[in-house]
C-alpha cells in the first residue's frame, strides 16, 4: 500500500485541538435520543448501542445528546444527565467502548431553561409541555415570558443567586464529564435553550447585569464558558455551540456571533460549533450546507476553529467545505442516524484505501475495496 495519511482527503486527516487528536474530521452532531425511559437521566443499553455504533462506524468524535446539568435543565423527562455519580458510571461504559474503537467522545452540557419539561420528540408525539402531574416540573428563564405564548406555561425569571447556581451546576457536570471519560465538553448555547435565551434580544428583556446590552445578554454564556474552561483539564479542548443567527431582523445577528466568538476565544474556547435558530418563530432558509456560511465567517473574522453543521450529507460536499477552509470539522446529525457507517462509506467514495479507513478488525471482511 503506497498511500500514507499525508495523501488522505482533508476529511480523513487527523485534527488536533490543544493536545487532543481526533482520527478524522467527520464528527457526530449532538442528538437527543429521549430514550431514558426510567426518567433518571442515566444512559442505558440504548445509549451504549447507539453511541457504540457511531464509534464503530468511524466517526472521529461522537458528541452526545444534550445532557442536562440539573434535572430541571432537561428538555424532556427522558433526557440524559450528568448531575450524579450513577450517570457518571453509565457514561463511562460508553466512553470506554468508544475509546477502544478509536473514537473520541464529547458531552454536550445543557440547560433547557424555559424550553424544559416538554414531551419527547418521538413518533406520534404531540408537541407540548409535560404537566407536573405527569412528571414535568416548573421551568425557568431570563424572564417570565414563555417560548410559546399560547402554551399557558409559567416561567420563573431567574434571580442573580439562581443564575450563579446554574453556572455552578455546569462546573459540577464538567468535573463529572472528566470522571466519565469524556475527551471534550461542548457547552450548549444554541437552539433557544437557556444560554441562547439570555443572549438573544428576543427572549432577554432584563435590565440587570444579566440583560440589557450585548455584554449583559452574553454574560451568562461567557461566565459558563469561563467556569467550564477553568474546570476542564487545560490540555483538552472546550467547544461552544452557538445559534449564529435568530433568522429575524429584530433578533441576534451574525455580527453578534462574530463578536461573541472573539470573546469566547479569549476565554480559551477552542472550537465554535455553528448552528442557528430556535429561540423564536422564524422563517429559515434551509438547504444543503445552509449554515456553512456562518461557520466560514466566524472562522475567518474571529480567528477561531469552527464546526459546520446542517444538511451535510455527501462525502464530496464535506470534503469541499473542509478543503476550502470554510470550517475545520463537519458535524452530521440525521445522516449519521441513517448511516452510522457514513465515515467508512465516505472514505471509500473519496478513494481512501480500506487499510487507512477506520474499519474495525471484526468488520474488516466487509470493507469496500
Ligand atoms: C433527533 C435529533 C436530535 C437533536 N438533538 C440535539 C441536541 O441534543 N443538541 C443540539 O445541539 N442539537 C440537536 N439536534 C440538531 C442537530 O445536532 C443538528 O444541528 C441538526 O439536525 C442539523 O444537522 P443535520 O442536517 O445533519 O441533521 C438534533 C437533531 C436531531 C435530528
Q: DSSP per residue over 192-205, as a string? A: TSHHHHHH-TTT--
Cα 291 to averaged position of ligand 1 atoms, centre (Å): 13
At 272-301, the pLDDT tens digits run: 999 999 999 999 999 999 999 999 999 999
Q: How far apart are CA 332 and CA 207, in angstroms?
A: 38
333 lines ligand 1 (CB under 6 A): yes
Share of the chain above pLDDT 90, in %: 96
Q: Tell me the angle at which helices 254-266 and 292-302 cross, rounded to the nearest 10 degrees.
A: 50
Cβ-in-10-Å burial (0-12, 13-18, 19+) of 5 comes to exposed
Share of the chain above pLDDT 70, in %: 98
Give me the pLDDT at residue 157, please. 98
- Check whether 83 has a pLDDT greater than 80: yes
273 lines ligand 1 (CB under 6 A): no
Question: pLDDT-based confidence at 51, cuts 50/70/90?
Answer: very high
Q: What is the pLDDT of the chain when averaged over all its residues? A: 97
Mean pLDDT score, 185-192: 98
Which is more confidently placed, 54 or 127? 54
Cα 241 to averaged position of ligand 1 atoms, centre (Å): 11
64 lines ligand 1 (CB under 6 A): no
Question: pLDDT-based confidence at 153, cuts 50/70/90?
Answer: confident
Q: How far apart are CA 95 and CA 64, in angstroms?
A: 10
139 lines ligand 1 (CB under 6 A): no
Cα 12 to averaged position of ligand 1 atoms, centre (Å): 23
Check: CB of residue 200 under 8 Å from CB of residue 233: no
> Could you give all domains of the chain from N- to C-terminal order, each with its CATH number?
5-364 (3.20.20.70)
Ligand 1 atom at minimal distance to the Cα of residue 190: 11
Q: Is 290 a catalytic residue?
A: no
Mean pLDDT score, 53-70: 98
Give me the pLDDT at residue 2, please. 45
Cell 476529511 maps to which residue? Answer: 11
Q: Choose, from 34, 51, 193, 199, the residue flagged as catalytic.
A: 193
Q: How far apart are CA 10 and CA 13, in angstroms?
A: 5
CA neighbor of 208 nearest in space, from 199, 200, 217? 217
- Check whether 326 has a pLDDT greater than 60: yes
Mean pLDDT score, 44-56: 98
Cβ-in-10-Å burial (0-12, 13-18, 19+) of 13 comes to middle
DSSP H stretches of helix in 153-273: 160-179, 194-199, 214-231, 254-266
At 297-315, the pLDDT tens digits run: 999 999 999 999 999 999 9
Main-chain dihedrals φ then ψ at residue 347, nearest 5 degrees: -60, -45
At 157-173, the pLDDT tens digits run: 999 999 999 999 999 99
Count of alpha carbons within 13 angstroms of residue 143, beta-carbon side: 19
CA neighbor of 100 nearest in space, from 173, 175, 48, 44? 48
Give me the pLDDT at residue 1, please. 41
User: Which of 26, 31, 78, 278 best tests ligand 1's pocket when mutated (most atoms within 8 Å of CB)?
Assistant: 31
Give me the pLDDT at residue 369, please. 86
Cα 327 to averaged position of ligand 1 atoms, centre (Å): 18
Q: How far apart are CA 94 and CA 103, in angstroms?
A: 11
Parallel, antiparallel, or unpaired: how do β-strands 104-110 and 184-189 relate? parallel
Amino acid at each position: 500500500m503506497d498511500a500514507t495519511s499525508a495523501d488522505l482527503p482533508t476529511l480523513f486527516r487527523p485534527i488536533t485541538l490543544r493536545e487532543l487528536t481526533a482520527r478524522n474530521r467527520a464528527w457526530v452532531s449532538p442528538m437527543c435520543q429521549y430514550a431514558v425511559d426510567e426518567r433518571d437521566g442515566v444512559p442505558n443499553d440504548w445509549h451504549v448501542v447507539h453511541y457504540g455504533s457511531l464509534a464503530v462506524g468511524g466517526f472521529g468524535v461522537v458528541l452526545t445528546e444534550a445532557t442536562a446539568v440539573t434535572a430541571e435543565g432537561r428538555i424532556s423527562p427522558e433526557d440524559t444527565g450528568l448531575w450524579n455519580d450513577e450517570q457518571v458510571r453509565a457514561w463511562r461504559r460508553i466512553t470506554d467502548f468508544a475509546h477502544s474503537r478509536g473514537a473520541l467522545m464529547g458531552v454536550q452540557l445543557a440547560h433547557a431553561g424555559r424550553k424544559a419539561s416538554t414531551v419527547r420528540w418521538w413518533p406520534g408525539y404531540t408537541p407540548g409541555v409535560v404537566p407536573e402531574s405527569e412528571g414535568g416540573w416548573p421551568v425557568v428563564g431570563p424572564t417570565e415570558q414563555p417560548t410559546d405564548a399560547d402554551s399557558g406555561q409559567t416561567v420563573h425569571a431567574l434571580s442573580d443567586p439562581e443564575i450563579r447556581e446554574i453556572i455552578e451546576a455546569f462546573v459540577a457536570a464538567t468535573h463529572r464529564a472528566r470522571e466519565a471519560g469524556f475527551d471534550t465538553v461542548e457547552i450548549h448555547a444554541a437552539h433557544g435553550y437557556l444560554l441562547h435565551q439570555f443572549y438573544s434580544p428576543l427572549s432577554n428583556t432584563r435590565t440587570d447585569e444579566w440583560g440589557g446590552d450585548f455584554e449583559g445578554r452574553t454574560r451568562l454564556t461567557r461566565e459558563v464558558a469561563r467556569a467550564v474552561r477553568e474546570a476542564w483539564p487545560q490540555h483538552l479542548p472546550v467547544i461552544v455551540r452557538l445559534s449564529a443567527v435568530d433568522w429575524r431582523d429584530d433578533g441576534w445577528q451574525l455580527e453578534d456571533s462574530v463578536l461573541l466568538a472573539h470573546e469566547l476565544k479569549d476565554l480559551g474556547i477552542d472550537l465554535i460549533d455553528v448552528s442557528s435558530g430556535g429561540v423564536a418563530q422564524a422563517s429559515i432558509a434551509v438547504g444543503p450546507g445552509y449554515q456553512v456560511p456562518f461557520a466560514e465567517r466566524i472562522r475567518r473574522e474571529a480567528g477561531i476553529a469552527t464546526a459546520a453543521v446542517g444538511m451535510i450529507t455527501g462525502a464530496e460536499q464535506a470534503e469541499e467545505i473542509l478543503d476550502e477552509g470554510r470550517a475545520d470539522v463537519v458535524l452530521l446529525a440525521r445522516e449519521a442516524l441513517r448511516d452510522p457507517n457514513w465515515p467508512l462509506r465516505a472514505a471509500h467514495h473519496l478513494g481512501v484505501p480500506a487499510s487507512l479507513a477506520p474499519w474495525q478488525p471484526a468488520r474488516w471482511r466487509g470493507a469496500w475495496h
